[in-house]
Amino acid sequence: MSEKVYLYGKHSLREALMAIKREDPLIIDKIYLTQSVVTDPKIVSLLQSNKFSYSTVTADEIDSMVGKDAIHQGVCAQIKESTLYTPLDRVLQKAKNKSANSLFVLMDELQDSHNVGAIIRSAVAFGADAVLIPEHNQTQITATVIKTSSGMAFAIPIVRIGNINTTLTKLKENGFWTYGLTGDGDTKLDETKFDANTVIVVGGEGVGIRAKTLELCDFKLSIKINSLCESLNASNAAAVTLYEWNKQNN
């Protein structure tokens, strides 16, 4: 039986319902609303227009699902974890059929849920085609990730991969150029031309991209910043890089 993850909060639910493609597998299993939310016309109208039903519950019942510290605003959706992920071969096939350049974002063992959610949101904002996350030593798609992404985890294929280095090798064999974000990289972002299928590799907090993975990257990419600032965190560095890719590839 699939594990369950939860989405909570009015804004996250709105964004998720607007982002979900109806032809995709139904990833929202159940929706729970408190009595006060049932009278919210915006929420109820959005559910009805997307043909979602809901159950009316108490705030305490939602607390038991998502935790008492979660600011759920009387809104909770239960999600089938297995339906959140897309096979790698499927996104590769779409890349082959695409006339324009494709962009994948690969996370190398990020542990902070807020960073993961923020990177997913930036990936959607700047036109990435997929986000790849390893199944080990990496934060998966959780309620916090979904909330931080403002529901954008449903707007882009999320690919769960096994070995990162094996995946990078496969992507290179399929015509992707790989760029590893690192502070001391010898390739400057503002001098880089993104004119082919691209993989942006984002390293984990503190340790960055692991040595063997960085060796596999075609380019070690660095971002020029003010000397008063030591470095950017993972999600900020990813956002800046994705913006530059988008500027060149629309």
pLDDT grade, residue 70 (50/70/90)?
Answer: confident
pLDDT-wise least confident of 19-28, 110-119, 140-149, 209-218: 19-28
- pLDDT of 231 > 90? The answer is no
Residue-level pLDDT at 163: 95
Residue 180: which H helix or E strand, with range? Answer: strand 177-181
Verdict on whether the full-model pTM lies above 0.85: yes
Residue-level pLDDT at 26: 61
pLDDT grade, residue 98 (50/70/90)?
Answer: very high
Q: What is the mean pLDDT of the chain?
A: 90
Question: Residues of the chain with pLDDT > 90: what percent?
Answer: 65
The stretch 127-131 carries a mean pLDDT of: 97
The stretch 232-245 carries a mean pLDDT of: 96
The stretch 130-152 carries a mean pLDDT of: 90
Residue-level pLDDT at 119: 98
pLDDT digits (tens, 9 = 90+) for 105-114: 999 999 999 9
- For residues 23 and 127, which has the higher predicted lDDT (pLDDT)? 127
d(CA 16, CA 175): 32
The dihedral over CA atoms of 138, 141, 144, 148, expressed in degrees to the nearest 10, equals 100
Question: Residues of the chain with pLDDT > 70: what percent?
Answer: 95
Measured on CA atoms in the order 181, 186, 187, 189, is the torsion positive or negative? Answer: positive
- pLDDT of 1 > 70? The answer is no
pLDDT digits (tens, 9 = 90+) for 4-27: 788 888 888 887 777 765 445 567
The stretch 70-90 carries a mean pLDDT of: 88
Query: What does the chain come to in residues?
Result: 250
- pLDDT of 242 > 80? The answer is yes
**Domains parsed from the chain with CATH numbers:** 4-83 (3.30.1330.30), 88-249 (3.40.1280.10)
- Where would I find the beta strands (DSSP E) of 3-90? 4-8, 28-34, 55-57, 75-80
d(CA 183, CA 103): 21
- pLDDT of 45 > 50? The answer is yes
Residue-level pLDDT at 21: 55
Task: Give the 3-state secondary structure of residue 27.
Answer: coil
Residue-level pLDDT at 152: 87
Residue-level pLDDT at 68: 87
